[in-house]
Structure 1
């Protein structure tokens, strides 16, 4: 992991010449994205590089918009979990220029979204971590994209025992959506940097 982070840091240092540099940490569920981002933020801090981190899962929609919609479960997860178009216009397209972003943050316990204002430094590295970042609507907003490659078996074992019992949900919702992503957007092949998670 340390070697991968050094390569990423070198990439950021060499290319972070403009006002903002947008790096995407993409990968399927439980592939190690958050762990990588935590390590990366530690190194950025140590190297005095200002940064802002966004977790795409903070910006999902309320349950009634993504469950029991009449669509197939995998489609609900892939296409309805986020308001893809809204995020494209009000988040991704504004990252380079906006001083402030107003974004919906999802509260799982209350199943509500609350808007918060996020201020962006004029010069910084913006790290966005999450699944399906290389979807058609979002991928062109990144300066650099990392994909964490990790087998389904290994990722499934990282789920807690209670979650592992819900195998049908994985088969119908998550894994079908992941297959769709892998076979339509080719994230492994199109990423700038591939890491074994």
Structure 2
């Protein structure tokens, strides 16, 4: 299925004023690239699209590193304030005309408030890892899961990053395994696209 067909199906079947799409997938599965291409496809059909990445809403380093939890638990459970994001972002996407979001700045390790005018958007695409967790999934009209084998995703990392294999084994991959086993995103998604 190509992006144009996918966009047409979603647009026709959506009964909401504002369509909320989730682009889920594990690290380096191609979520950002796919989301940008999908947004352009919708925009070519005269839809106004807001693209959000949950990576922009992570918490400060002290809240997600060197805590009392295991590395993978920090990544899965502490990387985002799950409940706050649910309440201040996800539950607001459909109805609110304005959102006040706390966008993370990695240079300062702080958040800055950002006002987003939602009135002009027909479609919101949210891309990120672990989107189908129970706290967030109900808000999405559709979820696309980008499936990519770990080995292929690993090869997409830079050589410098691949030297940090311990971090991946202890932090990222264990969290991904937990997500795959507990949430079962391949079974829960509306569409699966191999990347």
TM-score, shorter chain, exceeding 0.5: yes
Match of 2:104 among 89, 92, 106: 106
Structure 1: how far apart are the matches of 2:5 and 2:182?
28
Structure 2: how far apart are the matches of 1:85 and 1:117?
20
Structure 2 residue 90 is the aligned partner of structure 1 residue 92: yes
Q: What residue is the counterpart of 2:152 in the other structure?
A: 154
Structure 1: how far apart are the matches of 2:121 and 2:147?
30
Aligned length: 195
Structure 2 residue 37 is the aligned partner of structure 1 residue 23: no
Structure 1: how far apart are the matches of 2:140 and 2:56?
19
Q: What residue is the counterpart of 2:129 in the other structure?
A: 131
**TM alignment of 1:45-124, pairs within 5 A:** 45-121=43-119, 124=122
Cα deviation digits, residues 71-125 of structure 1 (max 9, x gap): 0000000000000000111111111111111111111111111110111026511
Q: What residue is the counterpart of 1:192 in the other structure?
A: 190
The answer to whether the 8 A contact 1:19-1:123 is kept is no
The answer to whether the 8 A contact 1:22-1:142 is kept is yes
Normalising to structure 2: TM-score of the pair? 0.97
Structure 2 residue 40 is the aligned partner of structure 1 residue 42: yes
Relative distance call for 1:123 and 1:168 in structure 2 (3 A) is closer
Match of 1:174 among 168, 172, 175: 172
Structure 2: how far apart are the matches of 1:189 and 1:42?
27
Q: Which runs of 5+ in 2 are unaligned?
A: none
The answer to whether the 8 A contact 1:4-1:195 is kept is no
Q: Which runs of 5+ in 1 are unaligned?
A: none
Normalising to structure 1: TM-score of the pair? 0.96
